[in-house]
């Protein structure tokens, strides 16, 4: 909860990005087909989104949003399945069982922003709009993994008024932007890569350095009037072919990564001017 408490204190949203299921989960649920189907099913077809939805649900059930009233989360791909099951969750996990101060639906409505992440589908939009309202939808695409074709047409065709279209397209994000909550604050990038660090050079496999991949974030920081700090990253955290020794090594790396991130967050909170 240390990282969560810092997001709450800094009053900035946390984006929960999908990740691969554990290898044991992959073997139980996402095998039995061709290698390509197994991989796609465990990642961007289903597994990624199920894992991200479970992560957010567990965060809600933990009471984090009761404890940290400023905590806001951004959930991609129309909420990673979770919004479409909220009523069932409320029925099956009532307040008497969870001990929470609000239903899971209300917690979701008050603490989560939803983005389409390139899933430009009108039925999904209508459901989320009815559940959340326009003020909780942040427009996003998944470029370069998906085409930008049809993006403007989708926005223009939404069955809402002009003010709500503008809110979804940019004004909701603008509230966190250069003249609002994020303006003048610090941007911290924390990430892992599957490939080892030696592959991220101009002359190696990927042909680019880690720093070159971060150029779009430099642009975002400038547009939002943010100070981009040195990134916290760890290479070689692969989900593939992990035996017991490799898994133990990666757990050590993960703990070291988390420690560096917490140290940086603490330094920002305790010394916001960077003196």
- Dump pLDDT digits (tens) for 140-175: 988 777 888 899 999 999 999 999 999 999 889 877
Contacts of 125 (CB under 8 A, 6+ apart): 78, 116, 137, 158
Q: What is the pTM of this model?
A: 0.73
Between helix 2-10 and helix 244-270 the angle, nearest 10°, is: 30
pLDDT score of 275 more than 50: no
- Dump pLDDT digits (tens) for 104-152: 999 999 999 999 999 999 999 999 999 999 999 999 988 777 888 899 9
Which uninterrupted H or E stretch holds 153?
helix 151-157
- Dump pLDDT digits (tens) for 171-182: 898 777 655 666
Question: CA angle, corner 79, sides to 19 and 13, nearest 5?
Answer: 80
What per-residue confidence (pLDDT) applies to 221? 85
Question: To 10 degrees, the CA torsion angle through 4, 9, 15, 16?
Answer: 10
d(CA 61, CA 120): 30
Q: Which residue has the tokens 């999908």?
A: 18
d(CA 10, CA 136): 20
Q: Cβ(90)–Cβ(104) under 8 Å?
A: yes
What per-residue confidence (pLDDT) applies to 250? 85
How much is the average pLDDT of 213-225?
A: 83
Name the DSSP letter for residue 134.
G
What per-residue confidence (pLDDT) applies to 164? 97
């Amino acid at each position: 909860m240390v990282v969560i408490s810092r997001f709450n204190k800094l009053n900035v949203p946390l984006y929960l990005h999908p990740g691969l299921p554990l290898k044991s989960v992959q073997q139980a649920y996402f095998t039995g087909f061709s290698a390509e189907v197994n991989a796609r099913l465990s990642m961007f077809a289903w597994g990624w989104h199920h894992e991200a939805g479970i992560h957010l649900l567990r965060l809600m059930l933990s009471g984090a949003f009761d404890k940290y009233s400023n905590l806001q989360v951004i959930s991609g791909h129309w909420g990673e399945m979770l919004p479409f099951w909220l009523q069932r969750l409320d029925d099956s996990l009532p307040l008497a069982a969870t001990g929470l101060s609000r239903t899971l639906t209300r917690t979701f409505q008050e603490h989560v922003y939803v983005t389409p992440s390139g899933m430009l589908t009108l039925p999904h939009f209508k459901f989320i709009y009815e559940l959340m309202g326009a003020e909780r939808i942040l427009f996003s695409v998944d470029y370069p993994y998906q085409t930008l074709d049809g993006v403007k047409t989708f926005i223009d065709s939404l069955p809402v008024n002009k003010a709500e279209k503008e809110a979804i397209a940019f004004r909701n994000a603008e509230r966190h932007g250069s003249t609002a909550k994020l303006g003048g604050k610090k941007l911290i990038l924390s990430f892992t890569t599957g490939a080892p660090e030696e592959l991220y050079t101009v002359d190696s496999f990927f042909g680019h350095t880690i720093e070159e991949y971060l150029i779009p974030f430099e642009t975002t920081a400038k547009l939002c009037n943010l100070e981009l700090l040195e990134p916290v990253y760890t290479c070689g955290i692969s989900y593939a072919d992990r035996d017991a020794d490799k898994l133990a090594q990666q757990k050590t790396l993960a703990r070291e990564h988390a420690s560096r991130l917490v140290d940086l967050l603490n330094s920002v909170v305790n010394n916001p001017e960077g003196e």
